[in-house]
Structure formats: C-alpha cells, structure tokens
Amino acid sequence: MNSGRAPGIRLITSFSRDSWYRSFILFLTFLFYTAYHLSRKPISIVKSELHRNCSNIIRPADLNITNNATWCNWVPFDGDNYQTIFGILDNCFLVTYAIGMFFSGIFAERLPLRYYLSVGMLLSGLFTCLFGLGFYLNIHSLSYYAFVQVMNGLVQTTGWPAVVACVGNWFGKGKRGFIMGVWNSHTSVGNILGSLIAGVFVSSAWGLSFIIPGAIIASTGIICFFFLVERPEDVNCTPPQHYNNQDLGEVQPLLQGTLADSNGAISTETTVIVEDHTEAISFCGALKIPGVVEFSLCLLFAKLVSYTFLYWLPLYISNVAHFDAKEAGDMSTLFDVGGIVGGIMAGVVSDYTGGRATTCWVMLMIAAPMLFLYNSIGQTNLTTTIVMLLVCGGLVNGPYALITTAVAADLGTHESLRGNSRALSTVTAIIDGTGSIGAALGPLLAGVISPTGWNNVFYMLMSADILACLLLSRLVYKEVRGWCGHLPRVRGFKEI
C-alpha cells in the first residue's frame, strides 16, 4: 500500500523554485545586515569600561603596581569630559556615515551589489578589528580611535542601500510591510548579538569586544561573494510586479500618484508598467518622488532618538541603575527586543490599513510620553525596567523600521518612475542618509547634554519625536482623507 509522500516532503515541494530563491535571499540579506549592526554595537558597551567608577576599585598603590596610566580608566577617556569625548567619537562614525550614505546609493545603482556588499563587509570587519587592537597595542591616542571610526562609518554605508535594493528586486508590493517588518528585525538582532558578544569580553579584555564582531562581519562578506543573487532574472526566476491592475479600483493618495484629466478631475485609471529601464535615476529626480522629502525628514528625528538609545542606553542604565558594564549591556538588549516586535507590528498594521504615514505618526506620538515615564519610573524596580524598555523599544524602533524598509521600497518603486527599478538604491540612500544626520546629532547632543542631567537628554528625545510627527502631518491628512472617501486609494497590491 502506497502511503504517499511524507508530510515534510509535501511541505518542501509545495514551495516553488521562485519561493525557495526568495526565501534564500531574504535570509542572506538578513544575515548581512545583522552583521553590520553587530559590528556597530560594541562601542556603546565598552564606554562604561573605558571610563569606570574608580571609587570602588582598589588603587594600584595598594597592589604595589607602578603603572598608573591605565589602572582604572583608559586614556584618553579618563578625563572629566569623557562624555563629550564619547559623543565626538560616536560622531566620527555617524557624521561620516550620514555624508557617505548620500553617495553610497549612487554607487550601489551603478555597481554589482554582490561585489559592493562583499568589499564593504570586509572593510567594515577590518576597521572594527583595528579599534579593538588598540587594547592589545596599548594605543592611547584619540586621533587613532577617531580615524578608525571615520573609516568604519564610511565603509558601513555600503550595507543599507544594497540590501534594500536586493530585497526590493525580489519582492513586490503585496505584503511588503509585514515581510520587511520581520526582515528588518536584523537591526535589533544585530544590536542584541553585538551587546551580548561585547559583554562577554568587556570586563576582561575589551579589545575582543571589537575583534570578534569584526571577524564575524568579514566572514559574512565572504559568504556574500559566493552566494548572493542580485536579481531574479540572474537565475531565471520570475521577477515580481510592483504594480498590478487587479484590485486597483482606487489610487493610493500618498505613495501612488493621482492622475487628473484636463478638467482637473481625478482619474482612477491605472496602467501596468512592466518595462524596466536601465538608466539610473538622478539625485534630484529621486527627491521629486512624492513623499520622499517628508519621510526623509521624519526619519531624521526618529533615527535621532533610536541611535541615542543605541549608543547611550548602556551607560545610562549603568549610571542610573548602578549596573556594571556587562549587566547594563545585557539589560539594554530588551530595548532591541521591543524593537523587533514594534517593527513587525508597524508593518502588519500599515499593510492592513494602507497608511504607512499614519502608522508612524501614531507610534511616534505615543512614544513621547512613554519616554517620559521610562525616565521617571523606569528604574524603580526590575519588572518596571523590563516592561518600559520593551515598550519604548517597540514605539521608538517601529516607525524607524517601517520608514527605512517598506516605505523606502514603496517610494523606490513608485509608479512615477515608470518601471525604473534602478531608483531603489538612490531613494533608500536619500531616506537613510537624511535619517543618519539625526543619528549623528542624537549621540552628540546626548554627550553634550548628559553632564547637565539625564532628564534633559530625555526632554530632547521627546521633542524629536514630536517634530517627527509634525513632519508627517500632511501625509497623514492625505491618508485620512482617502479613508474617508475624499480621495480614492489602493487597499493592497497583490504580489506575483
């Protein structure tokens, strides 16, 4: 008697060749950008080790140790202005990253993504390791660490435009918010792994907190070179359609252009564009896409908040809750766990409602009072700390994740581009590059403001969230009008 195929085999064979390739690319790009963020995280963990609370440490004189240079703090971070120095060091990375991002998208449009990503990850691994080698080579020059951060910020710009462009090449519009919400958890997963890996070595040999992540991202660069497939056409797979003439009885007011006839009447007629132009879009041309400027400026303030937490949360927890460096680093991972959930929720809600801007606006508006509560009561007990970190992480990182993934992909495949798929990297770079300006400003302002009290830092973060909401107001208004029937819109695009 033939029992038929085993359930596991039936499950495996139920997926088409295209589905397997799409899943493989999604996994690879997830792995790649996890490695990028994993290599950025150690600096925030090591800060509390480079400048420690020396009052509770036995002095070297009591141990007959003659070298006083590095017995407690690591020169040049041993002065009273150490927080400002840390802020400057962060900005050596972040300012270079912000500037380089605007050019990185242009290069990514014109170079093979596989080579571009591979070289970028190998160089990122090199400069991450060089920072850690300062421990073993006993380097105490601020200019050395600043130079390494500058170079690392420059080469790390290769990551985001390239991975988003690759995913955009493989996935159509359908459930893009959900797919990219899950996929974008690589940011938080990388932060968590980077914190845990750095925390293992921070108290004994902080150099390894950089060298191990550096080796990991360099290894993923080698994997990228051998296995990445940039486009479905390269392996004879079916490319996705970013626009579909089914279920397009309405036109989305925000991310879909509205057509008007000569009398000014709104037309719902939609043309399916299947032509793929090979000419890369110009920088100014990308700025003219509806919604790019608003979302870019919104991301500036959203990323300001997110990156301030990324670089300063472990030190804040250590100072306020009096955890040691490893415990503070481990506790800070809860913020990123909340970010994973927040990113997925933002994607699901925006897919269901069709309101990318409104989803971001609501989460940012709720985030402001939650930040106030976290600073006020977040350290009263362990349970409260855990809950507040999870909630704040979800609300802060949810809009950030949605804008940098689904929104960027929507705009990069906007119907006004008429099938030009080569615009995706440039649009992604503009959005993330503008956001990276905020990422540079946040940690710098935190370094300047924190000596006056952590309360002032949180007031700055709450103000940034409110400004981000204001910048989305026009787009939210359009979406709400669309829901009320004043403007036609699309509820969803089916992916092929």
pLDDT tier at 59, thresholds 50, 70, 90: very low
Radius of gyration of the chain (CA): 24
Domain 16-62+71-483 has CATH 1.10.1060.10: no
Q: How far is CA 4 from CA 7, 8, 13, 16, 317, in A?
A: 9, 12, 13, 20, 58
455 has a pLDDT exceeding 50: yes
Confidence of residue 172 (pLDDT cuts 50, 70, 90): low
Confidence band, pLDDT 50/70/90 cuts, at residue 57: very low
| C-alpha closest to that of 39 among 161, 124, 98 | 124
Q: How many residues are recorded in the chain? A: 496
- For residue 260, give both structure tokens: 């008007």
Q: What is the mean pLDDT of the chain?
A: 79
Hey, where are the domains in the chain? 16-62+71-483
> How buried is residue 214: exposed, middle or buried, by Cβ count under 10 Å (0-12/13-18/19+)?
buried
In angstroms, the CA 170 to CA 158 distance is 19
Give me the mean pLDDT over the 182-203 stretch: 87
3-state secondary structure of 184: coil
- pLDDT-derived band at 44 (thresholds 50, 70, 90) equals confident
Percent of the chain with pLDDT over 90: 29
| The token pair that represents 441 in the structure block | 């400003």
* Residues contacting 461, CB < 8 A, separation 6+: 304, 305, 308, 371, 442
CA–CA dist 423, 168 (Å, integer): 10
Q: Greater confidence, 104 or 215?
A: 215
Say if residue 76 is preceded by a cis peptide, omega within 30 of 0: yes
